[in-house]
Structure 1
């Protein structure tokens, strides 16, 4: 989240006040009985469109055979497809990027190789050294004839000098400020509680990079290795996860970007080849899922709850901001009761005091139910990822909190298969190695001040 600096406090108060004036919306109820109904056919697409039924079934059979004994490949995939509307797409290559340095290296490489257009969407874009590096790279491409289109969130960039964006605009880069805080500058209606939390880079309609990494100097160091013990929080490396994707699913991510551009009244996009013919790049089966508060429900939330209900052996989740709603709590506890190994890696420190303590208010209930909790040490955790039964993985911008599910635009992908699942399991276990496991006995001995902070945070959970 990496909230803006104190210089923007007045405008943040406007945002907070306006959020309290809004009527409360609710999360969809995903009924586990759905998973007992006859399963509709699961459809897979590839670079040329829908695959024949026999080919789709063969791919799903191969994926199922390569993983753990699991229910994920039975009813769940059809339920997920009905919930989110986007198809599973075969023929993709997915690379796992851990922490800012790896993600930035992949982003700069993709930008340098751009020949037609660059579409970029981000929550935070700071005017620091890292932000200037990105600005320089994007301006250079724009001047070389590559059209650059940029969507940035108004709240996420409150601390960024206006001159930073003026420089981009003067170079010919097309800009959209998502839901401006200033009501005099809005194009699509004033609703400052709805934020664009996505982090998405699409180059030439062929390469996409997405996950949790914003554009900020806090990501300049890696969490790998040791030597951070005892550092103050501000000096800790940030731990995050992104994906680099090539293949047919990039077209679905491109549609999400263009939909946001249109909804925000960005005007006609400069004509470019936004949807080039896409070739098979690998063997990964991927589904792109975008959520927006303008839609009836969060498709990412519905997908997650459906997957939790279907889990048979493991649910391993990592979340930087964890403020669960009742249905999510029930799904985690119910999974433990049927013998599923449920583990969460959560932060030991944070950049958001209220969110941190709001989440900790639920730890006793989870620990009592048998959920295993690990607090990541020596790094500021910003990951939003999960792996279920070793075969269903998700990475994106979505936290396990009310704000992500109700108030934010988010983007995640679901990747199927044991090969990628093993990479996700290893990353999770590496985080466990850098964590301290909480026990119910030790948690019940926490000081009274911590309990009071949790009560305060829990009151605000819906709006955080």
Structure 2
């Protein structure tokens, strides 16, 4: 069972309101905002330098107006800087991601910060636990923030050796109100997946710490994970450069909000260094804010698309504004393609999403279902030059109730990498046609109708 489904059952059992849904994004038709200013390893770039960087990015990609129309608005919405001089490595699936993460932990000299939704007591979880203990004993301070609902099945005996070794552990928003750090909000969960090492390298995306991710999804021989069952298909990023400081700030803010011990290290923010030439923005969302920052910038980016919108997402339960944005994009000639799961760990969210297929197909949106794996990726590529990878699903839970984390990467170079990954997933997917979908059996329609009753909570 998907852990959020269990949480939904708990929330609904105590809910007496919840009749209407709030407006979760502002009016995007804002007045003119200042030009985008980038930050590099030596601080803010001049207006002329920033304009030159964006011009180079635009010149290398497809014909698009997304930089001019969207980025200044994104900056006004989000507030976090657009940073230049980063290196971004695209990581496919658990094995590659875990290798890179464990290598970074092994090389740590000052601190290791991990924020995760799920941390299972299994082979993968134990590998990370032993890596944390080893670094802590070597004098590297390890701080671990784990969501209370996401780790509900992880026994206390898993965390005790970590604590005994000196690892600082914070339980995000404990399910037990007697352990709550502040105002108790059962439904608010930390869905972020973030690892920051020495303030110089960071990892984010959709991958939790669990053996379900221990199989690959692209090579035929590795699709079954050890122990049986289909492999989980996911995507993460390894980031180096000035953007790591922004991710560190997000971790430390969440750590402080959960009353974690005050860090005393002087190495949390080492002098920024240029690590590459990628332009990246870190975006964190929280239900404490008036609206989801990630969702607002995604709507604006889709609204600014000129040629293509390509989305891969694990849990798809769009609200009316997102549906309208996708339909409007198709109406103005943009190709919109969605890769969604053909099988899932959440029966309700799976059928909720399918309940929107007919409307989207009639509007001209192209839908594909990834076969042979459990699709868990959360990626978007717009016009081949605006890309985001992170933890955010396209459902009500991510938009309203979860703390989420995404990175936006600009430029055709990274866009081509994400495009190649999208194409590989597309080759492993089945197209859903309107003709075939309107002939689906009655039992599927009934499941969709039932599941839609739960979409707010999933």
| TM-score (norm: length of structure 2) | 0.96
Give the CA deviation at 1:412: 0.1
**d(CA) in 1 for partners of 2:18, 2:197:** 37
Give the 5 Å matches for 1:312-461. 312-461=306-455
Q: Would the aligned equivalents of 2:168 and 2:261 in 1 still touch at CA under 8 Å? A: no
Which structure 1 residue ranges, 5 or more long, are not aligned?
A: none
SS at match of 1:323: coil
Cα distance in structure 1, aligned partners of 2:388 and 2:228: 28
Cα distance change of structure 1 residues 328 and 4 upon mapping to structure 2, 3 Å threshold: closer
Q: What residue in structure 2 maps to residue 237 of structure 1? A: 231
1:110 paired to 2:104: yes
Aligned CA distance change for structure 1 residues 132 and 23 (closer, same or farther; 3 Å): farther
Residues 86-110 of structure 1, C-alpha deviation per residue, up to 9 Å, x if partnerless? 1110000000000000000010010
Cα distance 1:111–1:23, how it changes in 2: closer, same or farther (>3 A)?
A: farther
Give how far 1:21 is off.
Answer: 5.6
Task: Give how far 1:371 is off.
Answer: 0.2
- Mapped to 2, the partners of 1:259 and 1:252 lie a distance apart of 11
Does the CA contact (< 8 Å) of 1:320 and 1:347 recur in 2?
yes
Equivalent positions of 1:127-276 (< 5 A) are 127-226=121-220, 235-276=229-270
Report the equivalent of 1:92. Answer: 86
1:28 aligns with 2:35: no
- For structure 2, the 5+ residue unaligned runs are none
Q: How far apart are 1:287 and its partner, in Å?
A: 0.4
Which one of the candidate residues 299, 303, 310 is aligned to 1:305? 299
Q: Deviations over 1:40-62 (max 9, x none)?
A: 21110011211111111110111
1:14 — aligned with what? 10
User: Cα gap change, 1:334/1:22 in structure 2, threshold over 3 Å: closer, same or farther?
Assistant: closer
Residues 223 and 373 of structure 2 are in contact (CA less than 8 Å); yes or no, is this contact kept in structure 1?
no
Count how many residue pairs are aligned between Structure 1 and Structure 2. Answer: 457
1:278 aligns with 2:291: no
Measured against aligned partners, the alpha-carbon deviations of 1:13-47 in whole angstroms (never above 9, x if no partner) come to 4345246666765243454534xx54521110011
Cα pair 1:12 1:155 within 8 Å, conserved: no
3-state SS, counterpart of residue 349 of structure 1: coil
- CA drift at 1:189: 2.2
Contact kept, 8 Å, 1:153 with 1:179, in 2: the verdict is: yes
